[in-house]
Structure 1
């Protein structure tokens, strides 16, 4: 930290406990609604200023919508479940979660403290004092707002809130580091397939997922409003680790004189285009590259090598209900298959990761996923994403599918090729 910024960092006022920060933000919005409503009661609108009455009403409506969002955040900070919030809103738990989970997520992302230029002083004590004075002038009651904020005079509670915020930042940073380490561990495990180091590499890969699960479990404790989401992510990471540990694909090549391992290693070095050739052409290429291994030996082992490689990837669609896992899975599936330009790579990755999440939300299998990709007019994936944890992903899918037909078809063709090449054979679904 440089000397210019250091004093400003020291002078930054300490936030209240998260629950009090939420209530203070709510009180500020209630003040703005009250002031706006009182102003509008006696507002004189010129006869030629058409639309001004409606504009003022819509301004109040916007404040009211902000108040509702803040009320949900405050309820989550007070320990209310999504079922409680659903009952209060006369809706289901799922509907409440779909409507406000993004709002709660944004609050947590902002470290569970008040934000917004012009919405009260940064120092919570000064802000509470201003609101107290406003309320006293209006109603006559003293310290009406301050008395509701228990951590205002409790230094220990405020310090604990700051400690939790700092720990949450550290945990999120570590989760991101582990995501990158998982990608590297996956690559190492795939490269070691068919070698003596395969088991060790898979165990390291699984261990990274378990480490990430532990991070999310701790986040569920320090970021209570998102506890269900963090626990779900932890369960997803544990499930991935278990699937990796159970998979025996790297050991599916029986011990022999070493020829099969040589064929397998050479097969992994083939380009995507070379692997898509006929089996006879692939065998001829491998024979050329393997000095001392005859064509008969290559053909003898090639079927087993291709089958082992096809089944070595574990596609866990259920885990893709987590956005991070859906994107990581799409990255893994698309390696070696996405086109070599940033545009096509980005479009293919975006659509596949969104389809993977939709399939997870629908408890669908690989066959259903394939059906959606081959029938882009099917609205089911968009509907699922619209009501899921990432509703904005529905818009992205529609954007890609409504693009120029040639662009859309090229992206879909890539995804079809990926599923056929990386996912073991499956029965066609009628869904």
Structure 2
């Protein structure tokens, strides 16, 4: 079933916490439907068909687990608490799921693209109806009643302002990352061409400057998206470490270039 377009009074984009909750619920629906599709027994099914479909279900379940982690992080669950729930170490939990949490943040922390015309709240209410049909003894609003947009509608303006700030910072990061990729390519070409050390040192210095700016933007994001502060702080630290390494390498290349010039002067 296609989710209904948003009505004028219904916001398309909810708080990140609400968005993550509905995103999880939609994946739970997909996983449930995929599991029920395995029930019919077809004696004429090709060999390997059951395994293929079971593996497809596992893929849906893996997606559900990832969305559960994202929803938990939006609710303030720590990596230590997630590790305990998964019976793994904190480091293992972070390595496994942090990239997905960061990707969720970079993509705007929304269930649907803002220009899709699909309301997350409308999707939640559709899930309400489906759940109520299958579980008439449960709440009629099992999904939507737990959303902040329903419980605390007055908080929408504050959430919108915080989202706008975070969106601007992510857009700036995207531009900086594009520039950084260009510099990486330029440095690679210079290295392959056997360019003089000072030419490579200049590009490395530019990269270091750019990484330093990126670290500052990530730090700003810890305030704009406090629920994901751990991810942003880790990326800021990584950018600073890259800055130090690139500056040190640039200094080595500059020293090498200077030594080369002195050698050339003696030879002449």
Check whether TM > 0.5.
yes
Is 1:123 matched with 2:119? Answer: yes
Give CA-to-partner distance per residue, 1:68-117, whole Å, 9 cap, x none: 0001001100101111111111111111000011111111111111149x
Is 1:102 matched with 2:94? Answer: no
Is the CA contact (8 Å cut-off) linking 1:212 and 1:234 kept in structure 2?
Answer: yes
Is the CA contact (8 Å cut-off) linking 1:40 and 1:56 kept in structure 2?
Answer: yes
2:190 is matched with none
Q: Distance in 2 between matches of 1:238 and 1:161?
A: 30
Change (3 A) 1:282 1:237: same
Is the CA contact (8 Å cut-off) linking 2:10 and 2:121 kept in structure 1?
Answer: no
SS class of match (1:112): coil
Change (3 A) 1:277 1:166: same
Change (3 A) 1:122 1:178: closer
Give the deviation of 1:39 after TM superposition: 3.3
TM-score (norm 2): 0.68
1:45 is matched with 42
2:222 is matched with 220
1:54 is matched with 51
Give CA-to-partner distance per residue, 1:246-270, whole Å, 9 cap, x none: xxx9xxxxxxxxxxxxxxxxxx8xx
Give the deviation of 1:171 after TM superposition: 1.9
Is the CA contact (8 Å cut-off) linking 1:14 and 1:158 kept in structure 2?
Answer: no
Once superposed, what is the RMSD of the aligned Cα atoms? Answer: 4.1
SS class of match (2:38): helix
Give the deviation of 1:158 after TM superposition: 3.1
Is the CA contact (8 Å cut-off) linking 1:135 and 1:144 kept in structure 2?
Answer: yes
Give CA-to-partner distance per residue, 1:281-302, whole Å, 9 cap, x none: 33455xxxxxxxxxxxxxxxxx
Give the deviation of 1:60 after TM superposition: 1.5
SS class of match (1:28): helix
Q: Distance in 1 between matches of 2:119 and 2:83?
A: 33
- Structure 2 unmatched ranges of 5 or more: 1-7, 184-197, 200-204, 246-250
User: Which structure has the larger Rg over C-alpha atoms?
Assistant: 1
Q: How many residues align?
A: 226
Q: Of the two structures, which has the highest relative contact order with CA contacts closer than 8 Å and spacing of 6 or more?
A: 2
- Structure 1 unmatched ranges of 5 or more: 1-9, 184-189, 192-201, 244-248, 250-267, 286-431
1:282 is matched with 265
Give the deviation of 1:28 after TM superposition: 1.2
Change (3 A) 1:164 1:130: same
Counterpart selection for 1:76 from 73, 76, 80: 73
Change (3 A) 1:230 1:93: same
Is 1:166 matched with 2:168? Answer: no
Q: Distance in 1 between matches of 2:173 and 2:126?
A: 40
Change (3 A) 1:275 1:125: same
Report the structure, 1 or 2, having the larger helix content.
Answer: 2
1:347 is matched with none
Is the CA contact (8 Å cut-off) linking 2:12 and 2:117 kept in structure 1?
Answer: no
Aligned runs of 1:81-96 on 2, under 5 Å? 81-96=78-93
